[in-house]
Amino acid sequence: MEGKAILREQQKDFISRLKRGNLLPYKEKYVFGEYVTISRDAIASIVDSLEILKADDDSFSSSTVAQNIFKNRIARHAISLVYGDLLVEVNPDKNIVNDYLVLALRESRRFRIIVKICTGNISDTKWVFYADDLGQNQMVFCLYSPDNISLDAQHITVVFAGFNCSEYLLYGRETFPLSLSVNDLLYAGGLRPYLSSMLLETNDYLERANFCNSKGDYRGAVYCYNKILESHSRDYKTYLLRAIAYWRLGEEKKALEDLDRAIELNPNYELAYHWRGFVKYNLKDYQGAIVDFSEEIRVNPMSAYAYYRRALAYEKAKNLLKAFEDYLQVIRLNRNLYQAFYNCGNVRYELGDKEGALADYQQALKLNPSLAKAYYNIGKVYRDLGDNERAVANYQKAIELLPSYAKAHYNLALIYMERGEYRMALHYYEKACEFAPDLVQAKHNKKLLLEYLEAGEKNNVIPLREYKVRKEKEEKVAEKGEKVEEKEKKPKEQDFPTDPWDTRN
């Protein structure tokens, strides 16, 4: 941190004046003073607000908790007078019973400051911080009061004892907790200029990174994130952003390293768990993805997207029952996600619940009427249930929405084949082959049907199914002959279709 030596010298002078009782008082809002005197009226107002909280919170039955809350309110009030334009409290409801506050910059919630206030003799005062305190916050800000902080006090003096950066405090340290004295801090008068310059620099690089991302210049975005991390190595949100840029560059290993680091710095950072699970899923590490999405759910049990992603991973891991449970939970949390209904329908279908699958697909279409895949799958269900008329209608609707839907063309061809409407079947086989040249069954059926129709124009041939059986026998004989003559030409298994007349698909 630039100017650190100057701030240390200023801190020495501050400590000397603190012991002599010769400090600079706070006089004007948002203008630095080394101490603030909180009046009886302000104390009474804080006490009144605590009485309201006490009526709604059983935790106030503990005197320690009540004292922590009161001390935090005193600290917050003092900080708001001097830094209220720059800093704001983070998650006040979650931290209400702790012996600290967490602040962030108003213009950037990325930079966190943990605040603790202590009382007593300044020579003996120690501010105690644990590994998580420093790991999850970029700075410590220490306040001190020579007074007894009590509800009936006539006034309370709060001194801004100093601050320091977490990365400096953590450097080379292996044991915790860490006890800081006033001598370990930097002069509080340097806090505002430091935060202001840091904010300007960080915002500049963030804006440049956003511009690079918008232009697809992910390498440029990585450069900007690197510059931010040079001065803010514990900024877990920047590690996440850099991980996303690495992912877009196809550098999955680096992306995972950054996500690991973000989670190490903030074990409750749900977005990092989500992205790490997403990267692992795309790398086909489905079990690893399940673990990460489960951690995201631990942090935020109301995250529908975490359950959705975990359901996808369970499907890939062939655990359909777990996937089904997660899709149901997604639907409970958010009934507007058509993807959840659609995928739930797929799982129901695989589990044999075709009526349930039908209901899910129909609900997905209510939310997204242009979902061609849902119409296709409804067609499959009706086909299985023996209702070919509805199957045809839904396949045709799928094609109307997505003309290149090769599987829908193919399944329509199968139905028309069964009906004996061979010209219609040929039309849909041709469409299937046009849009999916590698669809072997469609090519095979089309060829066989063309031969049959050509033979039928010359004379009345045997029924199509019997013709098909005969042709297969002829092909097997030809295949054996080819193997005798050219043994080295062994076709691959996938070159041969399964039963092309099997209507299951």
Tokens 């269900």, residue? 381
Average pLDDT over residues 155-179: 90
Residue boundaries of the structural domains of the chain? 4-186
Each residue of 123-135: pLDDT tens digit? Answer: 999 999 998 888 8
Alpha helices in 173-303 (DSSP H): 191-214, 218-231, 236-248, 252-265, 270-282, 286-299
Contacts of 352 (CB under 8 A, 6+ apart): none
pTM above 0.75, yes or no: no
Decide if 364 contacts 338 (C-beta within 8 A).
yes
* Residue 347 pLDDT exceeds 90: yes
pLDDT at 67: 80
* Residue 496 pLDDT exceeds 50: no
* Residue 89 pLDDT exceeds 60: yes
Strands 108-119 and 139-145 come out as: parallel
Output 322 or 459, whichever has higher pLDDT.
322
Kindly report the average pLDDT of the chain as a whole number.
86
Tokens 């092309």, residue? 500
Each residue of 462-489: pLDDT tens digit? Answer: 566 555 555 555 445 434 433 433 333 3
The phi and psi torsions of 457 (rounded to 5 degrees) equal -75, -25
Average pLDDT over residues 250-268: 96
pLDDT at 61: 53
Distances (CA, A) of 396 to 383, 393, 481: 13, 5, 43
Q: How does DSSP assign 266-304, residue by residue? A: -TT-HHHHHHHHHHHHHTT-HHHHHHHHHHHHHH-TT-H
